[in-house]
């Protein structure tokens, strides 16, 4: 059931691969409308989606992996994959078992397949990718340090999600944000929609999602922009407006602050 290297080459094109600081680091592009039957991998995997989207299923559980999402999959998990359009490009980091021991020593909460999205994780994964691309004598030390930060942040997100159930109205708030992310929303307006005081709304939202409503909206806008940049040839100014930015200049600043690269660079790199 485990996929051999030759089998993996049949359905993905390796753009870059190397071993560094106890990690196997790979960047790969997957075929269009590709279905991969149930299989497993020897190593655990952190997979950062650069372009496209795919579905990873584990029996009754399915994880949807979108641009700028980080997926964690433990070693030996049996799963199946489905890749749609456009071509999916991912940046993978697979730690050796000895390195994973460090995670367990510190009671890290990563023990099941999970998908994460936060500004901090996007920045960390983009830094990791740039460090691997320009590798020098100090890169192994930098990569290991950044991976410890990635694991800590993902574990915190996992831990905060497990603390209690979300209030029923918080899902309504989340739905409003996802449906209207490109509009100018105010806390008062959102609070009125769900019957909550803006101060209480802001406090509960931050406790459950570990970010402010404004930061969450920014994440949604940049995620939308990444999909549009990857999947279309639309002008960046048009994408900026569609994402909810007043014009291209603040869009470019925000995009670079979140991802570490400009929208133009993101498009050219992922289409190289």
Which is more confident, 39 or 119? 39
pLDDT at 163: 46
Mean pLDDT of 82-86: 84
pLDDT at 5: 47
Helices 168-179 and 187-194: crossing angle in degrees, nearest 10, is 130
Which is more confident, 206 or 164? 206
pLDDT at 112: 87
Helix-then-strand count for the chain, H and E? 11, 10
pLDDT in tens, 4-19: 544 455 678 898 899 9
Residue 197 has pLDDT above 80, yes or no: yes
How far apart CA 17 and CA 14 sit, in angstroms, is 7
pLDDT in tens, 19-38: 998 899 999 999 888 888 89
The CATH architecture that domain 5-162 belongs to is Sandwich (2.60)
pLDDT tier for residue 107 given thresholds of 50, 70 and 90: low
CA 12 to centroid of chain Cα atoms: 20
pLDDT at 271: 66
pLDDT at 245: 94
- Across the chain, mean pLDDT equals 85
pLDDT in tens, 35-68: 888 999 989 999 999 888 899 999 888 899 988 8
Q: Is there a contact between 44 and 100 (Cβ–Cβ < 8 Å)?
A: yes
Class of domain 168-270: mainly alpha
pLDDT at 249: 92
Residue 152 has pLDDT above 70, yes or no: yes
Closest CA to 125 of 224, 47, 228, 208: 47
- The pTM for the full model equals 0.75
pLDDT in tens, 213-245: 998 899 899 989 988 887 788 999 999 999 999
- Which stretches of the chain are DSSP H helices? 5-11, 97-105, 119-133, 139-162, 168-179, 187-194, 198-209, 213-231, 236-243, 248-259, 263-270
pLDDT at 23: 93
Domain ranges across the chain:
5-162, 168-270
pLDDT at 161: 56
Which is more confident, 176 or 118? 176
């Amino acid at each position: 059931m485990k996929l051999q290297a030759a089998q993996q080459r049949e359905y993905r094109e390796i753009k870059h691969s190397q071993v560094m600081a106890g990690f196997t680091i790979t960047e790969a592009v997957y075929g269009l409308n590709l279905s991969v039957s149930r299989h497993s991998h020897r190593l655990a995997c952190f997979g950062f989606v650069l372009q496209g989207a795919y579905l990873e299923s584990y029996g009754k559980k399915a994880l949807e992996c979108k641009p700028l999402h980080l997926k964690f999959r433990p070693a030996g998990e049996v799963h199946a994959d489905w890749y749609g359009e456009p071509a999916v490009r991912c940046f993978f980091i697979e730690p050796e078992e000895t390195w994973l021991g460090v995670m367990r020593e510190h009671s890290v909460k990563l023990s099941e397949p999970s998908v994460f999205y936060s500004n901090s994780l996007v920045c960390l994964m983009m830094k990791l990718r740039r460090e691997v691309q320009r590798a020098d004598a100090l890169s192994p030390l930098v990569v290991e340090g950044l991976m410890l930060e990635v694991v800590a942040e993902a574990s915190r997100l996992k831990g905060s999600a497990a603390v209690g159930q979300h209030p029923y109205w918080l899902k309504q708030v989340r739905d409003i944000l996802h449906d209207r992310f490109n509009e100018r929303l105010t806390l008062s307006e959102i609070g009125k929609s769900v019957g909550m005081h803006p101060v209480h709304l802001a406090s509960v939202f931050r406790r459950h999602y570990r970010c402010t409503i404004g930061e969450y909206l920014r994440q949604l806008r940049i995620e939308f922009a990444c999909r549009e940049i990857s999947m279309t040839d639309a002008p960046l100014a048009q994408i900026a407006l569609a994402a909810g930015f007043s014009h291209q200049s603040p869009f470019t600043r925000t995009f670079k602050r979140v991802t570490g690269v400009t929208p133009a660079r993101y498009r050219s790199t992922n289409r190289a």
